[in-house]
Structure 1
Amino acid sequence: MVAAVAGALCVVATPRERFWAFGLYLVLLACVWVLARIPPGWLAKRALIELPFVVLALVFPFVAGGPTVDVLGLQLSEHGLLSGWNILVKGTLGVLISLTLAATTMPGELIIGLQRLKVPTMVVTIATLMLRYLDVIAAEARRMRIARICRGHDPRFLWQVGATARGIGTLFIRSYERGERVHLAMVSRGWNGAMPDQGRAAGSATWLVGLIPTALAAVVLGIAL
């Protein structure tokens, strides 16, 4: 987690005119993917979440002002091209760094990492319960949807959107009531407001190996600045 955050900060701090630096960042990420055996297809499918930012980056050269340059017969704003490039490359690298962290770290390990990094206890507790009960709430939503369909509800019709909205409200109330019951059960079992520490702390060798890519990214940033 520390390596991912530090790497993202290196990407953000790099001047947008240093095109070669972003290429080196991508090479570093590719090396991590090879060592971690992350399939490219897994990354590509999940990176589609960035599409709205890609569209924004493509619009900038056409709407920004200032001096223009001729690109394939089109007069594009020079400032817009750089701004679009800045959004596109930094956003893409940020998404890829996040996906790399998600592919190499289990959700439970993320929670333990947040706790070890002294993130506020309330934030750790909320994240833990969210991960624990996300599948439960999703299963409850599926059961409610099946029940509605069995009673003649067809979500494809616009005039039935009211039933869908009421179903979402019911799901919220059920989730809230479930949370109250879970909290009471935790208190009755000695809950003191903090998640118990689990696992074994990372050693110096683990820190050294994990921070190697970030250290190389910091070197690239130092040269770029």
Structure 2
Amino acid sequence: MGADHGHRLHFHAHSPLHSAPSHAKILALVAWVLLVVATPAHWFWAFGVHAVVLALAIGVSRVPVTYLLKRAVVETPFVVFAVLLPFIATGERIDVLGVAVSGPGLLAAWGLLVKGTLGVLASLLLAATTEPQDLLLGLQRLRVPQQLVQIMAFMIRYLDVVTDELQRMRVARESRGFTARDPRQWPVLARTFGALFIRSYERGERVHLAMLARGYTGSIPTEATRRPVTAHAHIHGSRR
């Protein structure tokens, strides 16, 4: 069921980055993010080095830059906050293009924007070069708690299901003549998301009950654990 879910971020290609072990790529991403976050905002040259390293990794991966930039829209809220920060922050005021802004706020906005952009692009690169199942396998090899890995697995499996349900709800609203053009329609959208949350929660409860009915004890059996049982059962069935 989950074999084809969560694949929208993955870019199929044959490169050294695609064939690298998933757990090694996860460790590299974590180390990269920690390094970028720990870099002081006024070390402009360091961010130039970070950008060059990331550009080289993207080149090696053979993933088009436009492919990553289109999906970097997730960073939009941070960009908006970074743009507003120089105007709302306190501290010494400086003139930038004839506009008085906060000097410390401007430096903080630069740090937030460059660190967020580098981190988002690196994360998207990991998703573009690693299949979701390989990511889960890499987390297991890194000894991430099994419960967290299972939660992530179900998120991948049911992400498209919830997205499709939201799409059907949107079509149902529009077929009844609803269009969200101004804030007066926001309560309707809020009720829609509330209904989607309740349906998703109820689906999760039903799936959990079905798993318990099938003998779930906290760990999901893998192919390696199922094959011996299947073979054993087949032998007994043949003897009968």
Name which of structure 1's ranges 61-70 and 16-25 shifts more when overlaid on structure 2: 61-70
Q: Mean alpha-carbon deviation: is it higher for 95-104 or for 168-177? A: 168-177
- The equivalent residue for 2:54 is 29
CA RMSD of aligned residues (A): 2.9
| Equivalent position of 1:214 in the other structure | none
Residue of structure 2 equivalent to 1:154? 178
Q: Of the candidates 168, 176, 181, which is equivalent to residue 206 of structure 2?
A: 181
CA shift for structure 1 position 149:
5.2
Cα shift at 1:142: 3.4
Are the aligned partners of 1:111 and 1:124 in contact in 2 as well (CA < 8 Å)? Answer: yes
Structure 1 residues 4-46: Cα deviation after superposition (integer angstroms, max 9, x where no partner): 1110000011122211110110111111111111111111112
- The 1:78/1:134 distance shift into structure 2, 3 A limit, reads closer
What is the TM-score normalised by the length of structure 2? 0.69
Per-residue deviation, residues 60-107 of structure 1 (Å, max 9, x unmatched) = 333444444444444443322222211121111111111111111122
Which string of whole-angstrom CA distances, capped at 9 and with x for unpartnered residues, describes residues 161-213 of structure 1?
Answer: 776655555544443343333223323333221234579xxxxxxxxxxxxxx
Match of 1:202 in 2: none
Percentage of matched positions with identical amino acids: 53
Residue 121 of structure 1: aligned partner: 146
Q: Which has the higher contact order (CA 8 A, sep 6+)?
A: 1
Counterpart code for 1:53: F
**1: CA distance, partners of 2:83 / 2:187:** 37
Aligned partner (choices 28, 31, 34) of residue 6 of structure 1:
31
Residue in structure 1 matched with residue 235 of structure 2 by the alignment? none
Q: Deviations over 1:132-165 (max 9, x none)?
A: 1122223333344445555x35344888777665
AA matched with 1:105: T
- Are 1:194 and 2:219 an aligned pair? yes
Aligned to 2:79: 54
User: Conserved in 2, the CA contact under 8 Å of 1:112 and 1:197?
Assistant: no
What does 1:35-184 align with in structure 2 at a 5 Å threshold?
Answer: 35-147=60-172, 152=176, 154-156=178-180, 168-184=193-209
Preserved contact between residue 43 and residue 96 of structure 1 (Cα < 8 Å)? yes
Q: Give me the whole-angstrom Cα distance separating, in 2, the residues matched to 1:8 and 1:83.
A: 17
Structure 1 residues 161 and 198, CA gap change in structure 2 (3 angstroms): same
- Residue identity matched to 1:103: A
Aligned counterparts of 2:199 and 2:124: Cα–Cα separation in 1: 32
**Runs of 5+ consecutive residues of structure 2 not aligned to the other structure:** 1-25, 225-240
Flag the 1:115–1:75 CA change in 2: closer, same or farther, 3 A.
same
What SS does structure 1 have at the residue aligned with 2:55?
Answer: helix
**What is the total number of aligned residue pairs between the two structures?**
198
Deviates more, 1:187-196 or 1:164-173: 164-173
CA distance in 1, matches of 2:180, 2:90: 44
